[in-house]
Amino acid sequence: MTASSDGLDTFPKYLLHNAEKFGDRPAMRHKDFGIWQTWTWAQMLEEVRAYSLGLQKIGLKRGDKVAVVGSNRPALYWSFAAVQALGGVPIPVYADSVAEEMVYVLQHAEVRLAVVQDQEQVDKLLSIKDDLPKLETIIYDWERGLGDYEEPFLHHMQGLQKTGRDMLAQDEQVGAGWVEEINKGKGEDLSVMLYTSGTTGKPKGVMLSYDNLVISSRNANKFDGFDENDEIIAYLPLAWVGDHIFSYGQSMTAGYCVCCPESPDTVTENRREIAPTYFFAPPRVFEGLLTDITVRMEDASALKQKMFRYFLDVANRVGEKILNKESVSLKDGLLYRLGDFLVYGPLKNRLGMTRMKVGYTAGEAIGPEIFRFYRSLGLNLKQLYGQTEASVYVTAQPDGEISAETVGTPSPDVEIDIADNGEVLYRSPGVFMGYYKNKKATDETKTKDGWVKTGDAGFLDQNGHLRIIDRAKDVGKLNNGSMFPPKYIENKLKFFPNIKEAVAIGDGRDYTTVMLNIDLQPVANWAERNNIAYASYQELANHPQVYAMMADHVDQVNQDLASEERVAGAQIHRFLVLHKELDADDGELTRTMKVRRSLINERYDPLIDALYDGSTEKYVETEVVFEDGRKGSISATVKIEDAKVYADDALKEAAE
């Protein structure tokens, strides 16, 4: 972990550098009063300096922790730099967390100052102020409704800037003193603390140093070729490491422009106006955009619909090849260009992706169809795999080596290793310093020689690309020793539109089996088109032709699994279609629609037994809870079918 040779090892130093080098280039935009307001790097330096001096005046000291709460507004990004310039540590906090959740983080981080967006956040902090004896000062950005607040510890951010400007006007030495403060900062200093939401237990404060963030940001810029000509729209939560890297770290190190939307509700429209060259979104955003397009197309004229479908077919056939610079026939090439003019171009414009050089998705598995759709339009959408503890980048897909199933090769300077239990480990310059005031958790996650446990199970395929299978703690073993990754199998099944839910069983058993839920909407549609009569969900689910359809899907998943050496042993041997939908009201799913494995195992015990005792059908009665809380029961005879299992080469060899 060496500091960069040019002496640029902290973000405030980069700010000074950028103001010099890119003085007239845009650093930040914000749509306000219906107009994009722009700050150049030189102007931004002036804003940050005035703000920072104001903070100094009200007593911000080296090492102070400063909470930053709000949505993506310039003032909050400036807070990062203004605080860091004085050696303080910003702690972005999720703006939508309720007061009680915020108490824990602010107490744990021992914040002395808080910078917040507006009245709503001020009220929230005032309501918990009694629990936060260390919190001395609150600074707000948007003064609406705060005019008659009389608390002496409340400051308007612009008021602080005025103080700072007055100080500069009175004494020329003040500016030089400020730069001196910046130069005291070192690469190994703590730069920021990001609290991970943590699905279990209390949030943990991940400490990242300037070296972590600066080196990771520089590497990422180099990897995808970002420079001062790029533009990004900042719309993800400030407290999330991704936003901190994309909208702050990479912008500072590459000198590109960060655009803040007018409000969280106008992101889509603002994105169209800006047309960012670099775009990150979790899969659900891409899904949402696609649904939006589909719905709008249904309302379009017949001619437009026809055109849309025709050229989408063309794109489907050759789009990805063209993007990967493979050769296609002359006719297809021409058709694709025509399609780009008539359909893809306007569509990309709508999506605000006209200028997109690189788009990333991460966080969870993206449906292959959705992924392919965007790529076939000629959009360079890629996947990456990252963690807060790694300053985001663990792996990323290099241009031209894209697949929906992998998350790419190790990012620059990152080493990957797979532990014996299948868990992915990494070591990189971006690896965090530790969890704040939590040595135990740090030691559990990070080994002495710098390897970090991701908690995810995965493997490197023959091309050196990482595949993530599942959370490491969920991955089990079959009796023959094969790996059993339930979520991996379930996700593969759920990518079929006809399958709504899937539960894979196999840990500690001889082979894998699954219980499926049909998705009523598409299956009912299909039934109608094929003249299949049915009276109820139960009847439809139990219909022989539906079983045939499911058998087909299971078969495809098995072929898929067989082609992957590490999981070939987990192919599905038997399956059944459940007679009722898994439901959160019955406690089978969580409210966020995740399968509750233990409860399902208990509830459907007779069916699970039947999956393993060779019987072809089983009579069951299941209790259900109606929405008003009354209880009833559903009984049915559920059929169980065998699935075809494929042998892969490795398994065959083992058998010989």
Partner 1 sequence: MNAHDSALHTSGDVLAAGSELLRVDNVTLRFGGVTAIEDVSFDILKGEVRAIIGPNGAGKTSMLNVINGFYHPQEGTIAFRGEKRSKMKPYEAAASGIARTFQNVALFHGMSTLDNIMSGRSLKMRQSFLAQMFYYGPARDEEIEHRRRVEEIIDFLEIAHIRRQPVGKLPYGLQKRVELGRALALEPDLLLLDEPMAGMNLEEKEDMSRFIIDVNQQFGTTIALIEHDMGVVMDLADRVVVLDYGKKIADGMPEEVQSNQDVIDAYLGVPH
DSSP letter, residue 480: T
Check: CB of residue 497 under 8 Å from CB of residue 519.
yes
As a whole number of Å, the end-to-end CA separation of the chain is 49
Q: How many CB atoms lie within 10 A of CB 390?
A: 26
- Answer yes or no whether residue 143 interacts with partner 1 by CB under 8 A: yes
Residue 197 lies near partner 1 (rule: CB under 8 A):
no
- Least spacing, CB of residue 74 vs partner 1, in Å: 8
263 or 545: whose CB is closer to partner 1?
Answer: 263
The full length of the chain comes to 656
Burial class (CB in 10 A: 0-12, 13-18, 19+), 521: exposed
Give backbone dihedrals phi and psi of 609, rounded to 5 degrees, phi first: -60, -45
Contact between 299 and partner 1 per CB under 8 A: no
Interaction of residue 265 with partner 1, rule CB under 8 A: yes
Give the separation between CA 603 and CA 213, rounded to whole angstroms.
Answer: 48
Whether 391 contacts 432, CB under 8 Å: yes
Shortest Å, Cβ 623 to partner 1: 35
CB of 250 to partner 1, least distance (A): 24
The verdict on 43 binding partner 1 (CB under 8 A) reads no
User: Of 74 and 367, which CB lies nearer to partner 1 in the complex structure?
Assistant: 74
With respect to partner 1, which residue has the nearer C-beta, 147 or 632?
Answer: 147
Selected from 183, 197, 263, 479, the binder of partner 1 by CB under 8 A is 263
Q: Give, as one character, the DSSP assignment of residue 595.
A: B
Shortest CB 249 distance to partner 1, Å: 24
Binding of partner 1 by 141 (CB under 8 A): yes
Q: Based on CB atoms, which residue is closest to partner 1, 142 or 308?
A: 142
* Residues in 155-184 at the binding interface with partner 1, rule: CB under 8 A: 158
**Does residue 269 bind partner 1 (CB under 8 A)?**
yes
Residue 146 beta carbon to partner 1: minimum distance, rounded to whole angstroms: 10
Positive or negative, the CA dihedral 530, 534, 536, 540 is negative
Closer CB to partner 1, 264 or 508, in the complex: 264
**Nearest CB to partner 1, comparing residues 349 and 421:** 349
Q: What percent of the residues of the chain are helix, what percent strand, and what percent coil, each to the nearest 5?
A: 45, 25, 35
Vertex 352 angle, CA 346 and 358, to 5°: 110
Q: Report in angstroms how near the CB of residue 144 gets to partner 1 at its nearest.
A: 6
Pairing of strands 512-518, 572-577: parallel
Q: With contact defined as beta carbons under 8 Å apart, do 540 and 523 qualify?
A: yes
Which position among 20, 32, 326, 443 is part of the footprint of partner 1 (CB under 8 A)? 32
35 binds partner 1 (CB under 8 A): yes
Q: Is 29 in the site for partner 1 (CB under 8 A)?
A: no
Q: Can you tell me which of 21, 37, 605, 625 binds partner 1, judged by CB under 8 A? A: 37
User: For residue 423, which of 481, 462, 471 has the smallest C-alpha distance?
Assistant: 471
Strands 572-577 and 617-625, bridge-based pairing: unpaired
Question: b or e along 138-168 (b: 16 or more beta carbons within 10 Å of the residue's beta carbon)?
Answer: bbbbbbeeeeeeeeeebbebbebbebbbebb
Q: Binding of partner 1 at residue 195 (CB under 8 A)?
A: no
> Nearest to residue 33, comparing CAs of 270, 262, 274?
262
Instruction: Kindly tell me which residue out of 24, 33, 614, 627 binds partner 1, with binding defined by CB under 8 A.
Output: 33
Pair of tokens at residue 490: 């379930």
- What CA–CA distances, in Å, run from 484 to 364, 552, 554? 19, 21, 16
- The type of residue at 377 is L
Q: Is 150 in the site for partner 1 (CB under 8 A)?
A: no
- 288 is an interface residue for partner 1 by CB under 8 A: no
Question: Residue 257 forms beta bridges with which residues?
Answer: 231
Give yes or no for residue 34 binding partner 1 (CB under 8 A).
yes
Q: Which is nearer to partner 1, 39 or 246 (CB)?
A: 39
What is the enclosing helix (H) or strand (E) of 370?
helix 368-376
Sheet holding 423-427, edge to edge: 415-418, 423-427, 452-460, 466-471
Is 150 or 449 the residue whose CB approaches partner 1 more closely?
150
Cβ 143 to partner 1, closest distance in Å? 7
Nearest distance, CB of residue 123 and partner 1, angstroms: 11
Q: Which is nearer to partner 1, 99 or 179 (CB)?
A: 99
**From 3-11, 139-147, 577-585, 642-650, span contacting partner 1 (CB under 8 A):** 139-147
What's the rounded Cα separation, in Å, for the pair 366 and 560? 16
Tell me if 349 contacts partner 1 by CB under 8 A: no
148 binds partner 1 (CB under 8 A): yes
Pick 159 or 497: Cβ nearer partner 1: 159
In this structure, the strands spanning 257-260 and 415-418 are: unpaired
Closest approach of partner 1 to the CB of residue 164, in Å:
16
Q: Which of residues 181, 228, 262, 287 is near partner 1 by CB under 8 A? A: 262
Tokens of 235: 């719309």
Residue 144 binds partner 1, judged by CB under 8 A: yes
Alpha-carbon gap, residue 217 to 246, rounded angstroms: 8
Instruction: From 12-20, 143-151, 558-566, 570-578, give the range in contact with partner 1 by CB under 8 A.
Output: 143-151
Own/partner pairs for 357-360, CB < 8 Å, 24+ apart? 357/224, 357/225, 357/226, 357/230, 357/277, 357/278, 358/224, 358/226, 358/277, 358/278, 358/279, 358/382, 359/278, 359/279, 359/280, 359/281, 360/279, 360/280, 360/281, 360/384, 360/396
Least spacing, CB of residue 23 vs partner 1, in Å: 21
Determine the Cα angle at 200 with ends 199 and 204, to 5°: 85
Dist CA 230 CA 656 (whole Å): 57
Q: Which stretch binds partner 1 (CB under 8 A): 202-210, 233-241, 262-270, 338-346?
A: 262-270
**Interface with partner 1, residue 273, by CB under 8 A:** no
Can you tell me the distance from the alpha carbon of 372 to that of 350, in angstroms, rounded to the nearest whole number? 18
CB of 298 to partner 1, least distance (A): 17
Q: Which of residues 68-97 bind partner 1 (CB under 8 A)?
A: 74-75
Residue whose token pair is 């102070």 = 64
Give the one residue of 145, 177, 455, 508 binding partner 1; rule: CB under 8 A.
145
| Nearest residue (CB) to partner 1, 3 versus 285 | 285
Number of residues this chain uses to bind partner 1 (CB under 8 A):
22
Nearer to partner 1, 32 or 617 (CB): 32
- Contact positions vs partner 1 (CB under 8 A): 30-35, 37, 74-75, 141-145, 147-148, 158, 262-263, 265-266, 269
